[in-house]
Amino acid sequence: MPRRLCQKQNRKMRASLLPAARVLVKTYPLMSSSSATPLSSGTAGPLRGECRVPGDKSISHRALIFGALAVGRTRVSGLLEGEDVLCTAEALRALGATLTRGSDGVWTVSGVGVGGLQEPGGMLDMGNSGTGARLLMGAVAGHNITAFFTGDASLCKRPMARVTEPLSRMGARVVARQGGRLPLALTGAADPLPITYESPVASAQVKSAILLAGLSAPGQTTVIEPLHSRDHTENLLRHFGATVTSEATETGGRRITVTGQPELIAADLIVPGDPSSAAFPAVAALLLPGSAIEIAGVGINPLRAGLFETLTEMGAAIEFKNTRIEGGETVADLSIKSGPLKGVTVPAERAPSMIDEYPILAVAAAFAEGKTVMHGLSELRVKESDRLAAIATGLEACGAKVTIEGDTLIVEGTGARPKGGAKVAALLDHRIAMSFLVLGMAAERPVTIDDGATIATSFPDFVPLMNRLGGAITEAAL
């Protein structure tokens, strides 16, 4: 489908979002040719104070989806109300679940039970969200209904075959553009088949889609992955009463099995702060001399904490306080103080635990002393943008020395501030946009991004939060 038609469908679906959603996303709408929001960040003073970042995006999607597949009412506190998650909420309404947001910010999901989704009357517009699209494909694949999926211009470029291929083995039928790209039509299986699927990539989205489809299949559905990807789906399946096992394989991977046709029971939960969002104020505080901030209630699931592990190896002063368990996830308050960083080598096996954080890590590496070598980044090629290329292009424009060798990114820092002064193309990618705004806060000269609209997909409060801490991010003219 031509991009213009895809975007037109997006605008029609987005117009139907609940009134609260309109309020939440009106400042930074998804990008279109007429709604770009150029932003500039200049040299800031020390960052000071306490903050709380939005709820974890990965868990927010899953909380709504599992709540919709459970029997009864699930109350979700701390939900990320970015546009990605709101698109998932609207899609679940179209599939028959009831979702409401209270005045206190708590969401209530009245589920339809496993096998209870209904056929939607229109397109399911997933906006910019690969997570929402791939997970809902898995849920729909276990139902004898047909759903049409689309997204914004960025999402329509992203490959979906890695999910639709195993779902087809389970009995779903898919009609899609070349490469399995959106828009696509998916008809779920009348009698879903349990499968054992050996995934070629360590992808929580692929794993989750198969496990979600497996809920409707008799017997056991198994995913074998080469490395252990984030396990929020497994944690939430257990939280809602499903039987899930997870064990190491002889080759260092993971075998995850769900027993199908359970009755999921509604279970309230609190969504922890997103470590991917916490990464931006954390790195900014590390880079700006004299900074000292605290970020409350951040999820530090070991399969998501790769960035903090790497920054600590680089010499970062990060302290984890008040560590506790909430909703099956490990949570802590982070205390961060500025200080010098040194280059390190990041092994490929760490990539699944920090795949979304490489853009901001590369920014930190540009300020560090010595070479930072990041291995195993092929997955960055198929994110909201080709993040590997976007990182290198942006850093080079800001005066950093960068090399790409296959799926390895090498940033050579001097321990001094990069010159900055560049205009960087965000490429419809919220993490690229935020990363280079952080760079501009600590560089010699301001950095401008062509569009910050998609920041709303994961961190609607990013600009005011950073400015409250002492940042200097403003709207810009290109």
- Please pick, among 84, 125, 333, 356, the residue that the annotation labels catalytic: 356
CA–CA gap between residue 166 and residue 72 (Å, rounded): 30
Which two three-digit tokens encode residue 351? Answer: 């990539």
Q: Is the dihedral of CA 353, 359, 362, 366 positive or negative?
A: negative
Does 356 participate in catalysis according to the annotation?
A: yes
The vertex-328 CA angle with 322 and 332, nearest 5°, equals: 20
Strands 181-187 and 369-374: unpaired
For residue 448, give Cα distances in angstroms to 458, 468, 473. 20, 20, 9
* Residue 197 backbone zone (phi > 0: left; psi -120 to 50: alpha; other: beta): beta
Backbone angles phi, psi at 355, to 5 degrees: -60, -35
- Going by the DSSP 8-state scheme, the letter that residue 164 receives in this structure is H
Question: 103 burial class (0-12, 13-18, 19+ CB within 10 angstroms)?
Answer: exposed
DSSP string, 267-326: --EEPPBPHHHHHHHHHHHHHSTT-EEEEEEEE--TTT-HHHHHHHHTT-EEEEEEEEEE
Closest CA to 176 of 213, 211, 205, 134: 134
Listed in sequence order, the residues at least 6 apart from 399 whose beta carbon sits closer than 8 Å to its beta carbon are 418, 419, 420, 421, 422, 443
Q: Would you tell me how many other CB atoms lie within 10 Å of the CB of residue 102?
A: 11
Chain centre to alpha carbon of residue 307: 14
CA–CA gap between residue 434 and residue 208 (Å, rounded): 27
CA–CA gap between residue 148 and residue 434 (Å, rounded): 31
- Going by the DSSP 8-state scheme, the letter that residue 31 receives in this structure is P
Q: Would you tell me how many other CB atoms lie within 10 Å of the CB of residue 475?
A: 10
The neighbouring-strand residues paired with 110 are: 73, 98
Question: 359 burial class (0-12, 13-18, 19+ CB within 10 angstroms)?
Answer: buried
CA–CA gap between residue 404 and residue 388 (Å, rounded): 8
Q: Looking at the annotation, which residues are catalytic?
A: 356
